[in-house]
Structure 1
Amino acid sequence: MSGTSTLAPVPGAAMEREIREQPAAWRRLLEQAGVVDETVERIRRFDPAFVLFIARGTSDHAALYGKYLAEVTCGLPAGSWSPSTTTVYGAVPRLNRCLVIAVSQSGGSPDLVQSLEAARQAGALTLAITNVSESPLTQAAELAFDLCAGEELAVAATKSYTAELLALAMLFDGLSASTSSGFAELPEYGDALLDTASVEQVIERAAERFTGDRFVLAGRGYSSATALEGALKLMETCYVSAAGFSGADLVHGPLAMVDASVASIVIASPGRGGEAIEPVVERLRATGSSLLLIGPRAARPDELTVPLPTGLPEQLMPLLEILPLQRLAMTIAGRRGIDPDRPRGLLKVTRTT
């Protein structure tokens, strides 16, 4: 019998591979430090008074992380641009002395491109951070930074997200008054976390325990971005209802929706953010919700915990925090018979106007 047979793609194979590729992508990005230095010097000459981020989806969570970096490490007030103010309402901004950073995996969404063009015309210094070096967004910007993450096939962004985080960390580290350590060691920490059997066991146990369709995730400071991104990964790959919050915002009302039927995930990495989230953990325990803790060294015996290393600066921890949450989303999806590489109704490149 002759003929050609085509094997069906293995569900989740692309997401699994791209999760594991992240430390290698970080190494490639760190090799571009010279490009970052040139960008930093240009920004210093411009001397911005504030920073605005333009992003959607996963990249918007990276932008939230960038906002914390700008404000904490550089003392620069930062905010988020609403593209519809330009694309829908036709507003004309006034942006003298503003650094506008557009963050996008593909750099192809028309609303981001149009907003960045408007920012440039309004007097801002514009920077595009993308994984596609010749994208329309890159061409619209004065400065550009290639993430070097390589092609990403799974719809759910993994390696492009952490590459965005690292690019922003490198940028604001260069702009800050004091240079941080930990960049060189970061890929090794990532490899270790992805290869640790005990971490994989916790993820499997969490996937077994979290059989419901309601999740809440919380973090403080830099880890707020991780909570939002972890929730998005669960929504788009597992088709569940998941909400991510700053821990401070959670206790200002949304906590009332949490009961024993809700799975709670708290990011409590070493550092000030982890210390600030501790009271929220106690409040969640009181609800009877099943808990997964990402970061702490100590927890109650019946709680699921993924410890994280203590040897990195707090601002770099979000690159590690998200790794077990990416794997959790992939594992839950597999248990539910869902291919996380191809979520229903979604495309890899989303074009909004």
Structure 2
Amino acid sequence: MTDAAPGQHMRAEIAEQPQVFAAITARQAEIAQVATVLAERRPRFVLLAARGSSDHAALYAKYLIEVLLELPAGLVSASTTTLYGAKPDLSDVLYLVVSQSGGSPDLIEATRQARLQGALTVAVTNNPTSDLNSAAELSVDIGAGKEIAVAATKTYSATLLSLYLLIDAVRGGHGTDAMDLPALAAEALSTMESPVTEAVARYRYVERMVTTGRGYSSATAAEGALKLAETTYLAARAYSGADLLHGPVAAIDSDTGVVAVTSAGKGGEAMREIVQAVRQRGADVLAVGSAAQDMPASSRIPLPTTAEEVAPILEVLPLQSLALGLSLARGGDPDNPRGLSKVTRTL
């Protein structure tokens, strides 16, 4: 990796995503086989466990489960099991573990314990031979292929798509709203280059950025902030649009760059007032998404329109490219961010 040009691997893996999406949508029937078991077991509610980028994918899944399946869902803390030894009754509970590597020790142990406590455990990973897959009763292979860059790009979006196909199949769907994503992702990548370049020029010298979104797009905002922080070393924070107005907005001024994720649908429409409020504080607001053109923002990166529940799979693409561009513009190498590795070794 040291002989490669800075950002070479991240750039290549961003560009690879349309092909990755095509491969995953072609496996919809395979993913649906796991969904059949979940539907038959009829869980009372769903718990999701994850770390890092996968935690944001789990947040996306939480919205899918609560809206599409109308089941309560929550994000668990693995440390309640691994550090504190808690053993809750998990009978009739779906325990969905999301981990790109499948190698995080705390997630592996938490999955083993959840299974012992009666949960139906499902691992969603990019490594079908991982210890996490062995610990879980069922597994879904996201099939993104080897990812070399430390910052997750194609594995993150592939996880979102796999989770959507799984959850949609539980309700009897066939992934119809996702089938155009390979072509739409290719379109997005081809049209966003110029506005991303402009955004890099606008934000190159800022030291503070905020990302925000509502509904399904909350996950995109969280992932965007992580990508910016880990590749550019900016102080980047993500807030739900609703939470942003309850205090954090006081810290936003003309020196703050704000990325507002605003795709067509209820979540995007709810962002309009928030974007306006942030603009009134003097912040430079970049609107990203299929509703970006209709937002009172400083600049925009428009994306193709999709069903709202699959929009995050496209929304993250320009945020990945923005992080790549800003890292390079600031003299960094996003393929080798300091202090990071592909697997989080927490207990």
Residues in 2 aligned to 1:103 and 1:29: alpha-carbon distance in whole angstroms: 16
Residues in 2 aligned to 1:216 and 1:302: alpha-carbon distance in whole angstroms: 14
* Larger CA Rg, structure 1 vs 2: 1
Aligned counterpart in structure 1 of residue 309 of structure 2, from 286, 311, 315:
315
**Gap regions ≥5 residues in structure 1:** 1-5
Q: Given the two structures, how large is their TM-score scaled by the length of structure 1? A: 0.95
Post-superposition Cα deviations, 1:51-97, rounded to whole Å, max 9, x if no partner, equal: 00010010000000000000000001000110010111111121111
Q: What's the offset of the Cα at 1:287?
A: 0.8
Residues in 2 aligned to 1:180 and 1:303: alpha-carbon distance in whole angstroms: 35
Q: Retained in 2: the 8 A contact 1:220–1:276? A: yes
Aligned to 2:23: 28
Aligned counterpart in structure 1 of residue 336 of structure 2, from 320, 342, 346:
342
Aligned to 1:10: 5
Determine if the alignment matches structure 1 residue 254 to structure 2 residue 248.
Answer: yes
Q: What's the offset of the Cα at 1:34?
A: 2.2
Determine if the alignment matches structure 1 residue 85 to structure 2 residue 46.
Answer: no
* Pair 1:124–1:205, CA change in 2 (3 A): same
CA RMSD of aligned residues (A): 1.5
Q: Retained in 2: the 8 A contact 1:180–1:313? A: no
Residues in 1 aligned to 2:292 and 2:259: alpha-carbon distance in whole angstroms: 15
Q: Please state whether the residue corresponding to 1:29 is helix, strand or coil.
A: helix
Q: How many residues align?
A: 345
Post-superposition Cα deviations, 1:99-147, rounded to whole Å, max 9, x if no partner, equal: 0000001000100000000110010000000001100100000000111
Q: Retained in 1: the 8 A contact 2:96–2:124? A: yes
Q: Retained in 2: the 8 A contact 1:74–1:177? A: no
* Pair 1:48–1:302, CA change in 2 (3 A): closer
Residues in 2 aligned to 1:302 and 1:281: alpha-carbon distance in whole angstroms: 7
Q: Please state whether the residue corresponding to 1:317 is helix, strand or coil.
A: helix
Q: What's the offset of the Cα at 1:300?
A: 7.2
Q: What's the offset of the Cα at 1:182?
A: 2.3
Post-superposition Cα deviations, 1:226-249, rounded to whole Å, max 9, x if no partner, equal: 000000000000001001111011
Determine if the alignment matches structure 1 residue 69 to structure 2 residue 64.
Answer: yes
Corresponding letter in the other structure for 1:32: R
Residues in 2 aligned to 1:261 and 1:95: alpha-carbon distance in whole angstroms: 48
Aligned to 2:106: 111
Aligned to 1:208: 201
Q: What's the offset of the Cα at 1:23?
A: 1.1
Determine if the alignment matches structure 1 residue 282 to structure 2 residue 283.
Answer: no
Q: Please state whether the residue corresponding to 2:286 is helix, strand or coil.
A: strand
Aligned to 2:215: 221
Q: Please state whether the residue corresponding to 1:329 is helix, strand or coil.
A: helix
Q: Given the two structures, how large is their TM-score scaled by the length of structure 2? A: 0.97
Aligned to 2:162: 167
Corresponding letter in the other structure for 2:106: D
Q: Retained in 1: the 8 A contact 2:28–2:174? A: no
Aligned to 1:123: 118
Post-superposition Cα deviations, 1:13-70, rounded to whole Å, max 9, x if no partner, equal: 0000000111111111112222212111111121101000010010000000000000
* Pair 1:150–1:177, CA change in 2 (3 A): closer
Q: Please state whether the residue corresponding to 2:176 is helix, strand or coil.
A: coil
Corresponding letter in the other structure for 1:207: V
Residues in 2 aligned to 1:57 and 1:277: alpha-carbon distance in whole angstroms: 25
Determine if the alignment matches structure 1 residue 145 to structure 2 residue 174.
Answer: no
Q: Please state whether the residue corresponding to 1:10 is helix, strand or coil.
A: coil
Post-superposition Cα deviations, 1:256-304, rounded to whole Å, max 9, x if no partner, equal: 1111110000001011110011110011011100110002253579821
Q: Please state whether the residue corresponding to 1:255 is helix, strand or coil.
A: helix
Q: Retained in 1: the 8 A contact 2:287–2:297? A: no
Q: Which moved more, 1:217-226 or 1:176-185?
A: 176-185
Residues in 1 aligned to 2:2 and 2:95: alpha-carbon distance in whole angstroms: 45
* Pair 1:280–1:302, CA change in 2 (3 A): closer
Residues in 1 aligned to 2:29 and 2:202: alpha-carbon distance in whole angstroms: 46
Corresponding letter in the other structure for 1:13: Q
